[in-house]
Amino acid sequence: AELRGALFASGARLALAPQAAACRDACRAAARVAPGWSGCPGQEEHPIQSGFYANLREELPAPSSGAVGGRPDRVFGPNVWPPGAAGASLREAVCAAGRAMWNAGLAALTLAEEVAEVEALERGAPLGSGALRLRQLVEEAFFQPTRLVYYDAACAREDSLLGGLHHLPWHVDFNAVTVLCPAVWLPEDSLLAGEANLEDVLDGSESAAAERGGGLLLRNALGNVTPAALPEDCVLVQLGAFTQIASGGLLRAGPHAVGPRGADSFSGALGRMSFGLFCYVPWETAMQPPVGHPGTEEDVLSDDFGGLMRKAYTGEAVLAGFQRFAGFMNSL
């Protein structure tokens, strides 16, 4: 909870404080999916809204295991932080929260490998020791982006799968695993106008309990949709499309959306700030099941909600899929 508080204090100040305009300009990203800040809170119309991207792996020293780290990714480029004390504070907060979330993601992948091995045995098609290497692949990758994102209070997009207005419609993350911390809801107009005290806002009940009244929605294999409703001191770890494909369908990606807060969700009252770590595998890794996988395409794509997994099941390298996503978002 302490790491989360420091993170959102720095993030909300960068995104919404009138006096932070120069900081936002100084760390302006070259594109929407690129290091640094992009967007214009309060009047943003881009699908991924306003946000700040940073590659956590660049900030982490190489671990004793010999895995890579501590240098920019060749595709994403070097991180771009705001200048001065504000930038130092944001960098410290992102790295502290990111490191804790990174450890949670790696632990989840270790558990996921064990679950997949048990499931394979029960199906009579054992994987063999170390067949998946999910955690190892993530540890070997240079690209582990974090994104601090701000959804405008009036941001409303029609969902094509289940219908209704959402801040972010239903989707499956492309990467191996995503780690999310509980979001906060912020009084947009008063903060943009400099009329509200940010510390008081973050201490208030509206922010602390906001995700229990709306926000991150999850869908399970039975088709049930439920709010994540994360406590302040927890993170959510969910598997992405790569992991489902790489496991031959033994593991399942988690469809999710950011839903309406309630009847007043899009009235312009409250914006939503969240923070996620998106763990990738090396760029050259192919989006395909392990060699010798005995299952069919339907086994890999089981319960393909809205065809989301089929879009990711290309057999191409991870880099090609990322470049297609970034190219599309950067063209809007």
pLDDT of residue 275: 97
Say which DSSP state 170 is in. E
pLDDT of residue 328: 94
Residue 69, pLDDT above cutoff 70: no
pLDDT in tens, 79-134: 999 999 999 999 999 999 999 999 999 999 999 999 999 988 888 877 766 678 99
Query: Can you tell me the distance from the alpha carbon of 8 to that of 186, in angstroms, rounded to the nearest whole number?
Result: 10
Number of domains making up the chain: 1
Query: Can you tell me the distance from the alpha carbon of 127 to that of 125, in angstroms, rounded to the nearest whole number?
Result: 6
Tell me the three state secondary structure of residue 283. coil
Residue 257, pLDDT above cutoff 50: yes
- Return the structure tokens found at 200: 């008081």
- Please state the pTM of the whole predicted model: 0.93
Query: Can you tell me the distance from the alpha carbon of 183 to that of 8, in angstroms, rounded to the nearest whole number?
Result: 9
- Return the structure tokens found at 99: 């490191």
Read off the pLDDT of each residue in 179-183 and give the average, rounded to a whole number. 93
* 272, β-bridge pairs: 151, 185
pLDDT in tens, 274-291: 999 999 999 999 998 877
Q: Strand runs (DSSP E) across 205-299, as ranges?
A: 216-219, 225-227, 236-239, 256-258, 270-279
- Return the structure tokens found at 292: 């010798």
Q: What angle do CA 188, 193, 198 make, to 5 degrees?
A: 60
CA torsion 323-146-103-77 (nearest 10°) is 60
Residue 206, pLDDT above cutoff 60: no
Q: State the average pLDDT for the chain.
A: 89
Residue 237, pLDDT above cutoff 80: yes
Q: What angle do CA 140, 143, 145 make, to 5 degrees?
A: 135
pLDDT of residue 191: 93
pLDDT of residue 315: 86
Say which DSSP state 204 is in. S
Sign of CA dihedral 20, 25, 29, 31: positive
Q: What are phi and psi of 186, to 5 degrees?
A: -130, 140
Which CATH number characterizes residue 259's domain? 2.60.120.330
pLDDT in tens, 258-273: 986 654 445 557 889 9
pLDDT category of residue 10 using cuts at 50, 70 and 90: very high
pLDDT of residue 212: 60
Say which DSSP state 191 is in. H
Nearest to 157 by CA among 147, 146, 165: 165
Residue 29, pLDDT above cutoff 50: yes
Query: Can you tell me the distance from the alpha carbon of 139 to that of 132, in angstroms, rounded to the nearest whole number?
Result: 13
Phi-psi region of 84 (alpha: psi -120 to 50; beta: other; left: phi over 0): left
Query: Can you tell me the distance from the alpha carbon of 182 to that of 212, in angstroms, rounded to the nearest whole number?
Result: 10
Read off the pLDDT of each residue in 187-193 and give the average, rounded to a whole number. 92
Helix (H) or strand (E) holding 256: strand 256-258
- Return the structure tokens found at 78: 């070097």
Note down the domain range covering 11: 2-331
pLDDT in tens, 117-131: 998 888 887 776 667
Cβ atoms within 10 Å, residue 205: 7
